[in-house]
Chains A and B, each alone.
Chain A
Amino acid sequence: NAGVTQTPKFQVLKTGQSMTLQCAQDMNHNSMYWYRQDPGMGLRLIYYSASEGTTDKGEVPNGYNVSRLNKREFSLRLESAAPSQTSVYFCASSVGPSYEQYFGPGTRLTVT
């Protein structure tokens, strides 16, 4: 089992460019999440999908959109990247909303 995988591992964007971060899990989990981690801070929830076909905003959703493509995949899109979105992005999954979450390896994104 690969667990939770994320692509790409690193990305540099110019202000205004768009991109999509990909996440997939092979654990047959129902719930998936996107977090960002900024220096000196813990992770903060951007968006989540409690089950296939549903998505909802977390603590810091502005500037992002998500798609739960199927049970395995949950993508995060930046439509017009800004320097404030420079961060490390983590995808996670869990059996359900009240269960422990398992994280991917993260994507380091730099917006110049």
Chain B
Amino acid sequence: AQTVTQSQPEMSVQEAETVTLSCTYDTSENNYYLFWYKQPPSRQMILVIRQEAYKQQNATENRFSVNFQKAAKSFSLKISDSQLGDTAMYFCAFMKQVGSQGNLIFGKGTKLSVKP
């Protein structure tokens, strides 16, 4: 069974600084997808970024980028130029490419606070 681990329950960062959130996962699959979702106090789950395991290039979405290390089964999220609106819970999630039926496996989340 797949598992996703986020080892940092809480983190804080100063506005305009850079922060990296860690995520590791365990799977025997070779083809899969990884996601970062953001959940602000409004509770809405918002997709931040997606990575396909077969792509060596790290995904980037504006100020958000990932460091995907397939051999190490690591998928960290880097937020550059942090903004107050980045304050949220961040969840790492895994999905098999074949046979998943869309079942996202989530980590327990990292609570990020951006301080002015």
Interface residues of A in 1-47 (CB under 8 A from B): 31, 33, 35, 40-45
A86-97: CB near B (< 8 Å → 1, else 0) gives: 001010101011
Q: Does B75 contact A (CB under 8 A)?
A: no
Task: Tell me whether B97 and A98 are in contact (CB under 8 A).
Answer: yes
Contacts of B37 in A (CB 8 A): 103
Task: Tell me whether B102 and A98 are in contact (CB under 8 A).
Answer: yes
Decide yes or no: A50 and B101 within 8 Å by CB, A42-B93, A42-B106, A44-B106 being known contacts: yes
Q: Does A56 contact B (CB under 8 A)?
A: yes
Task: Tell me whether B108 and A41 are in contact (CB under 8 A).
Answer: yes
Complex Cα spacing A62 to B37, Å: 26
Task: Tell me whether A58 and B44 are in contact (CB under 8 A).
Answer: no
Q: Does B68 contact A (CB under 8 A)?
A: no
B41-57: CB near A (< 8 Å → 1, else 0) gives: 01111110010000000
Contacts of B108 in A (CB 8 A): 40-42
Decide yes or no: A45 and B103 within 8 Å by CB, A88-B43, A90-B45 being known contacts: yes
Measured CB to CB, the closest approach of chain A to B38, in angstroms, equals 11
CB-contact partner of B102 in A42, A48, A88, A105, under 8 A: A48
Chosen A-B contacts, 21 in total, with CB atoms closer than 8 Å, are A31-B102, A41-B109, A42-B4, A42-B91, A42-B93, A42-B107, A45-B103, A56-B101, A58-B103, A92-B45, A94-B102, A97-B100, A97-B102, A100-B47, A101-B47, A102-B47, A103-B46, A105-B42, A105-B43, A106-B43, A106-B44
Apart from A42-B106, A48-B102, A100-B33, 5 more pairs, CB < 8 Å: A42-B4, A43-B45, A45-B103, A50-B101, A105-B43
